[in-house]
Structures are given as structure tokens and as C-alpha cells.
Amino acid sequence: MSETDAHTERDGATDVDAVVVGAGFSGLYMLHRLREQGFDVRVFEKGDDVGGTWYWNRYPGARCDSESHIYCYSFDEEIRQEWEWSERYPEQPEILSYLQFVADRLDLRRDIAFETEVTGATYDADAATWAVETADGERVTARFFIGAMGCLSEPFRPDFDGLDDFEGDWYHTARWPDEGVDLADEHVGVVGTGSTGIQFISETGGEADHLTVFQRTPNYAVPARNRPLEDDEYEEIRANYDEIWERARDSRLGMPFEHDHYSAASLSEEEIRETLEDRWQQGGFRFLHAFEPGHVLTNAEVNAVISEFIREKLRAKVDDPETAEKLVPTDHPYGAKRPPMDYNDYYRTYNRDDVSLVDVSDDGEPIERVTADGIRTTAGEYELDVLVYATGFDAMTGALLAIDIEGRDGLTLAEKWDAGPRTYLGLMTRGFPNLFTITGPQSPSVLTNMPLSIEQHVEWIADCIAYMDEHGHDAIEPTEAAETQWVTNTNMLADNMLFSEADSWYRGDNIPGKTSVFTPFPGGLDMYRDICDRVAGDDYDGFEFDQVADAPLAGQ
């Protein structure tokens, strides 16, 4: 039976062929790709427009750390030739416009239900279908249930006592109001100095009457060196796009940058520092690519030289030596936490009289509570009109687990992942047939340039679904053995890297009560792609297929 016949046979048995949750980079491409294959798809999106991460994160200074020419889709030649990025790193409004442009160009909106939150999904093993429920009480059945909600989309806000008493306004950066917030003349407090906090602080320092930063852990922010993209530069990118994408796909992080040396192990400290000096001027993730990033994250001695190099650079930017010491990370090696970028002279922001830093680590003055007037630490009270939580996300698993997902035999995803996620390839988890996760836990995802990882997953899933139809399969899920092996391999790779030397959201350490386990696949996008291709080429080795009596295709 042809793919189209199989598809037609199924019409009417379920409301749609696939339900996709989320209309960001992942959901939009998944919708397009499946529609191209003749499937009927419904996308549910909580926001009132497309964009995902770039719809929600509208805080001042929001910008992407991947360079714009590779922070986009590669699959459509017309789109990539027609769209033109204005700066080296794209700002949130520009990325949002890009995704709106793509949605319009591919006529995607007609299959997206906006302002619709998916609350539950239950697998019917007899029919090999999912019943998906929304907060409005709508119930939609589908053969495939596809999570495309992004890895950093479930905001985390620490539960400080007393927030209800606060007489000012408070915001989470990931839910920043569209109309903005007028911070002029206000005493603003911001909790958090991750990628988001650093962008927010350097953008708003000087705008508020006073900005107080509550920092628990400092970070290594390397200068991004943003600038407008010149016309001739852009022409060159366009002319060489195929080669650029090829290099990016064939790299660990999904970025097309060359290394000066693969390894620094045989270089003297002076030679390493010379290389770093040049890379410091190039800025952004090109700094991390001075050497192969996997090498930087496995060789403790080399990493120590790099970390110290950055510390010296950071100290030199801050006038007050005491403040400088607070801003310089010594608790973890560079790269063990996601390294932020500095777009706006972040460290020099602290040289301003209207910006102050409060160390709320255990060695400083931890936050005790929010009061009517501001924040009280163990050392005193800070008066605030506006309190900003730049406190991150329940990463990688939070958005999936926010949905009440029930698989085969009544097993819930929350139960199955209680001690950490268990997946095969980060694409599927046993006991939840026909549930795919785009950039799911234990795939390279957040360790890479996301659009590239997203495209790879979308294409793999779409090909897998086509294969199922060609072969008359109703259901797919990983075998127990393949899943166990994948979890073990992922953990083993992470254990051999420096990631364990930091408390980080990579491991879920930022969420009280969450099991600490390294969640992304750290072996690199290049290796991962090869594994996925081999699995697919080998008739989906490690997966098992099922034919189900009540399924629309039974007996075909």
C-alpha cells in the first residue's frame, strides 16, 4: 500500500493524524513537513501567535547567542534567500518576525489553534491512538502525539515567602508583558544572573532609577561582539549557504566554526592564551571553538587555563575590586554551565552608581523573603518598586511533564521519569507509543544550535512515520534494552566530561526536588546524527512496531 493510501484509510478513524504541541521553531516545521506528506495535523499553541520561546521571552535585551545566519531554518531555499538578518546576533523581535514570516509563507496558521493549552493526553493501546485534551475541554484524537514545546519553556520562579505581600509589581522575564514595563524612576530588583539576567541587567542598567542585582552564582560571560551585518557579508553568506549548513551539521554544536587547534593538550599555556586572545576578539561561541568544544569540556587542565583567562578579563572590567571578585566565577569550570554572552558590557554595568550587586549565595546574604517593600536578605532589606525574576526554567522535561500524559497500562510520564528521563535517542520513551519529542531529553538539543537539531529531529520523525505507513505499522516505541543502553551511554558520556562540576539546569539542579541527572546528550550533534541515521537505515533498530486490531490500518 502506498503512503497516500494508508493515510486515506485512516481518515475518519481519528480527528487528525497528528497533534503537535507548540508553534515555535519545532512545531512549525513539524506541521509543514507532515502536511507535505499528506497528513492532517493540528497544532495547539498556548500563546496567541507563533514563535514559542521568541513569543514569550520579550524582556529588554532578549537576543539569541547563536549567530543569526545559522539561527534559522535551512530546509527551504526560498526562505533562506529571501530573509535577511540585520545583525550578527538576532534580537527577539526580529526572530519573532522571522517565524511569523515563515508561518505566513508556508500558510501554517490555518492548522494552529492559538491560545489553547494542552492539559492531558491518554494513549489507547487497543486503537494505537492518543486522546489529547485542552484546557477548554476540547478532546482530539490522533495517531501521533508530538511534543514541540521547547526545552526552556516552563518558567521557574523560586517560591520566596511573602510575594503576596509585595506592594510593587513583579514579573518573570519569560512572561514579560508585550507592552513593556516602564522602569524609569523605579527601584528595580532582579534575581538571577544566567543568560537572561545578564542580558536584562546590561540593557536596563541606567534606565531604572536604581537597579539592584541579587546574584547567587556568577557566570563566565564572553563578549558577543554584536554588530550590524554588512551587505557584502550577507551576500557571501547567501552564496555559500549550502557549505555553511554542511559544516554546521557536521560539528559537535551545530555551528560552522573552525578550530585553531583541535586539542590544546600539547600547547604551552602561553600558546593557549595567545589563541584565546584572538578568539576573545572574535567573540561569542567562536571563543569556545578555539579548540574542539568537547576537548574543552573534558580536559580539566586546559579548561583551567581557559577559565582563568576569562576571569582575568572580567576582573579588569570592574572598577571596585570587591565587586569584581563577586562577579568572577570560581565554583565551576567554564562551560560546565551554559555559558552566557555579554552583549552590552555587562560587567561594566556594575561601575555605575545606580547599579548595585548583592551576593545572595550561602557565603553572602541569602534571600530570606519578599516583604511589602522589597526583598529582605539575612543582612538587611532592599526597597523595590519592581521585582524581576530572571530565574530560568524547569528545563528539558518541565513542559512535557506539565501535561498529564498517560501511556500504556495507565503509566504516567511523571511516574516513569520520576528518577530522571528515560528515552531512546531523546525521541521516544517506552510505554508511550507514537509519542515523539522534538529535541527531547537525552538528545543534543540545548548543547547545540537549536534550529539544526530541530530540523534533524523533525525530518527523522517525519521519515519514521512515512516508514510506518509503508510497512503497515500502527505503533512504534523503543525496546527496553535500547532505551536502557541509551540512558546508560548518555550518563557515561556526561560523567566523563566536566558537567558534573557545576550545579546547573542541564542536570535539573535549579528545581527544588528534581532528580539531578544530566539531561542533554553530550556526544555532539555530528555523532548523534550518525547514530539516528544508522538506526533508521537499519529498519529502526532498537524500536519495536505493533499492529493493533482496532487501529484503522489493522489487517492492511
Q: Residues 442, 492: contact at Cβ < 8 Å?
A: no
Cell readout for 404 is 498529564
Residue 2: exposed, middle, or buried by beta-carbon count in 10 A (0-12, 13-18, 19+)?
exposed
Task: Please list, in sequence order, all residues whose beta carbon lies within 8 angstroms of the beta carbon of residue 188, skipping any fewer than 6 positions away.
Answer: 204, 208, 209, 210, 211, 212, 384, 385, 386, 387, 388
Least Å from the CB of residue 28 to ligand NAP: 19
Closer CB to ligand NAP, residue 122 or residue 448?
Answer: 448
Q: Grid coordinates 570560581 are at which residue?
A: 330
297 binds ligand NAP (CB under 6 A): no
Q: Is residue 390 part of the contact set for ligand NAP (CB under 6 A)?
A: yes
* Residues ≥6 apart with Cβ < 8 Å to 483: 422, 423, 424, 429, 430, 542
Q: Which residues partner with 63 through β-bridges?
A: 91
333 touches ligand NAP (CB under 6 A): no
Between residue 442 and residue 471, which ones bind ligand NAP under the rule CB under 6 A? Answer: 446
What is the full DSSP assignment across 313-331?
Answer: HHHTT-SSHHHHHHHS--S
Min CB(348)–ligand NAP separation in Å: 19
- Does 210 participate in binding ligand NAP (rule CB under 6 A)? no
| Interface of this chain with ligand NAP, residues 37 to 66, rule: CB under 6 A | 63-65
Here's the x/- map for ligand NAP, 107-146, by CB under 6 A: it reads as: ----------------------------------------
Q: Which is nearer to ligand NAP, 341 or 551 (CB)?
A: 341
Query: What values do phi and psi take at 37, rounded to 5?
Result: -85, 5
Nearer to ligand NAP (CB atom), residue 157 or residue 313: 157
Point out which residues pair with 524 in neighbouring strands.
none
- Judged by CB under 6 A, the chain residues 213 through 252 that form the site for ligand NAP are 214, 216-217
Q: Which of 396, 493, 476, 484 is nearest to 440 (CA)?
A: 396
Cβ-proximal residues to 408 (8 Å cutoff; 6+ apart), any chain: 123, 125, 431, 432, 433
Which letter does DSSP use for residue 333 in this model? -
Report the residue number, 171 or 545, with the smaller CB distance to ligand NAP. Answer: 171
- Shortest Å distance, C-beta 427 to ligand NAP: 21
For ligand NAP, the closer CB: 324 or 446 = 446
386: part of which helix (H) or strand (E)? strand 386-389
> Which segment (136-144, 256-264, 390-398, 519-527) binds ligand NAP by CB under 6 A?
390-398
**What is the smallest separation between the CB atom of 217 and ligand NAP, expressed in angstroms?**
3
Least distance to ligand NAP, CB of residue 391, Å: 4
Give the contact letters, 67-106, x = binds to ligand NAP (CB under 6 A), - = no. ----------------------------------------
The correct pick among 210, 279, 338, 507 for binding ligand NAP (CB under 6 A) is: 338
Q: Does 399 bind ligand NAP (CB under 6 A)?
A: no
Residue closer to ligand NAP by CB (options 152, 475) is: 152
Which of 22, 51, 90, 194 is in the footprint of ligand NAP by CB under 6 A? Answer: 194
Distance (Å, rounded) from C-alpha 46 to C-alpha 54? 13
Judged by CB under 6 A, which of 334, 346, 486, 505 binds ligand NAP? Answer: 505
Residue nearest to ligand NAP (CB): 194
220 in Cβ contact with 314 (< 8 Å): yes
Rounded to 5°, the CA angle 12-15-21 comes to 150
Torsion of CA 169, 174, 178, 182, to 10 degrees: 40
Q: How far is the CB of 451 from ligand NAP (least distance, A)?
A: 12
What is the smallest separation between the CB atom of 361 and ligand NAP, expressed in angstroms? Answer: 7
Least distance to ligand NAP from the beta carbon of 140, Å?
31
Q: Min. distance of Cβ 331 from ligand NAP in angstroms?
A: 9
Q: x/- binding map, residues 143-162, to ligand NAP, per CB under 6 A?
A: ---------x-----x----
Q: What angle is formed at CA 474 by the lines to CA 471 and CA 480, rounded to 5 degrees? A: 100
DSSP letters for 474-503: -EEEE-HHHHHHHHHHHHHHHHTSGGGGS-
Residue 12, SS3 per DSSP: coil
* DSSP for residue 174: G
The CB-of-312 to ligand NAP minimum distance in angstroms stands at 22
**Site stretch for ligand NAP (CB under 6 A), options 194-202, 235-243, 302-310, 527-535:** 194-202
Select the residue interacting with ligand NAP from 116, 134, 196, 226 (CB under 6 A). Answer: 196
Q: CB of 152: closest distance to ligand NAP in angstroms?
A: 4
Assess 405 for contact with ligand NAP (CB under 6 A). no
Q: Measuring CA to CA, how many Å separate 426 from each of 62, 72, 393?
A: 28, 22, 19
Residues within the interface to ligand NAP (CB under 6 A) = 63-65, 152, 158, 191-197, 199, 214, 216-217, 338, 341, 360, 367, 390-393, 446, 505, 510
